[in-house]
Amino acid sequence: MAPIEFRGVSKRYPDGFMAVRELDLAVEDGQFLVLVGPSGCGKSTALRMVAGLEDITDGELLIGGRVVNALAPRERDVAMVFQSYALYPHLTVRENIGFGLRVRGTSRADRGRAVEEAAALLELTAHLDRKPGQLSGGQRQRVAMGRAIVRRPAAFLMDEPLSNLDAKLRVSMRAEITRLQQLTRTTTVYVTHDQIEAMTMGDRVAVLDRGQLQQIGPPRDLYEAPVNLFVASFIGSPAMNLMSAHIVEGGAALMVRGQRLAVGGGDLPARLARSGGAEVILGIRPEHFVLAGEDGPMTLAATAGMVEHLGATLLARLDPGAHEDAAARLSFDSDMADDLSRRRGELLAVLDPEAPVSPGAPVRLGMREGKVHLFDATTGVAL
């Protein structure tokens, strides 16, 4: 086991494209860190630099306290699990798991013990004499993990290992990988584009966008206190509702979609005062809406559109009236502005399954106290 540390690490390709920009990131010994972000954000490139499969342009990468920039992959004492299982189809499960040990010259007896231990841990003992073609997708992924485990590396590197599995298998394998990491306590860096995987698996989660680290922390911190609009909109499913809000009456109220929202108490007045402008972006997660019977602080009138009954919850798509573009001032991020523009005019609310909401009916929504997010309308930074 060993800590991993990025010190100002950058990756620039020959055509000038910057895949990773001055990444400062520390993974503690025995920690499970998830790198998450959209396609092209640099997360897999960062992982491949740890493995030695990508050269580092600038900065230093440390594994176990030593700089490994110039070390070959085999000298780094890390094991990688890929999206593809990369199993040898003509070898049995036993032979696939023990292949790396055989190449390293491990004795037959030691190799056999290591394979048996890994197979028991992964519940593969009954399948050791089968070929990969006789296994399910989940079993093949466990074989790939077993091949990494038997090496007893300083760190595990996992690059979207569940992407090829169906939804049900992904859920079970998420739990399996988390259980194994807790048993072995091996430093693990896990890459995914799926924020649900990130939130359910990682001790800490690092959110990347266009090669830059946006925020790192425990999953709950990213959900409850996103540092900017990108993290706020990326973490959470369904995504956070974002609305342009004009500060009026000296901060006592907000105008949102043509409606006056009384600010009320709490820390909202102070946060609005810090904005230093006349406009902010208001964020509220769908699950933090509640049905409100009367006018009150932070209540919004809307008309219900499509209503989806999901068993434990009810998902309502709502039209609050005037369609004001929350992206109007987001000059700092054109991609974010485009995404917000596509979502303009619709709010999502996750409500109690028995909530009396039907298509076309008027609805008044309240926002749970302490759950309202505010962002600078020009920079996107959380207030």
pLDDT more than 70, % of the chain: 93
Task: Give me the half-sphere count of Cα atoms (radius 13 Å) on the Cβ side of residue 135.
Answer: 28
Question: What pLDDT is stored for residue 345 in this prediction?
Answer: 65
- What would the mean pLDDT of 65-79 be, rounded to a whole number? 93
Question: What pLDDT is stored for residue 191 in this prediction?
Answer: 96
Tens digits of residue pLDDT in 21-68: 999 999 999 999 999 999 999 999 999 999 999 999 999 999 999 999
Query: Residue 293 carries which DSSP code?
Result: S
| C-alpha distances in Å from residue 306, one per residue of 179, 242, 314, 348 | 39, 19, 11, 10
Identify the band that residue 327 occupies on the pLDDT scale cut at 50, 70 and 90.
very low
Question: What pLDDT is stored for residue 85 in this prediction?
Answer: 77
Question: What pLDDT is stored for residue 68 in this prediction?
Answer: 96
Tens digits of residue pLDDT in 158-204: 999 888 778 887 888 888 889 888 888 999 999 999 989 999 999 99
Tens digits of residue pLDDT in 122-143: 889 999 999 999 998 888 888 9
**Residue 32 to residue 176: CA distance in whole angstroms:** 14
Residue 326 clears pLDDT 60, i.e. is over it: no
Highest-pLDDT range among 1-15, 244-258, 311-325:
1-15
- What would the mean pLDDT of 376-382 be, rounded to a whole number? 90
Question: What pLDDT is stored for residue 165 in this prediction?
Answer: 78
Q: How far is CA 81 from the centre of its chain?
A: 19
Question: What pLDDT is stored for residue 223 in this prediction?
Answer: 96
Please confirm whether the linkage preceding 238 is cis (ω < 30° from 0).
yes
Residue 155 clears pLDDT 70, i.e. is over it: yes
- What would the mean pLDDT of 359-378 be, rounded to a whole number? 91
Q: What structural domains and CATH numbers belong to the chain?
A: 4-226 (3.40.50.300), 231-376 (2.40.50.140)
More confident residue, 111 or 369: 111
Q: CA 110, 113, 118, 124 torsion: positive or negative?
A: positive
Task: Strands of the chain (E only): list them.
Answer: 4-12, 18-27, 32-36, 58-63, 66-67, 78-81, 155-159, 187-192, 204-209, 212-217, 241-248, 253-256, 259-262, 279-284, 289-291, 299-309, 314-319, 347-351, 362-367, 373-376
Give the closest residue to 33 by CA, choosing from 186, 189, 154: 189
Token pair listed for 359: 């298509």
- What would the mean pLDDT of 71-78 be, rounded to a whole number? 93
Identify the band that residue 328 occupies on the pLDDT scale cut at 50, 70 and 90.
very low
Question: What pLDDT is stored for residue 216 in this prediction?
Answer: 98
pTM of the complete model beyond 0.85: yes
pLDDT more than 90, % of the chain: 59
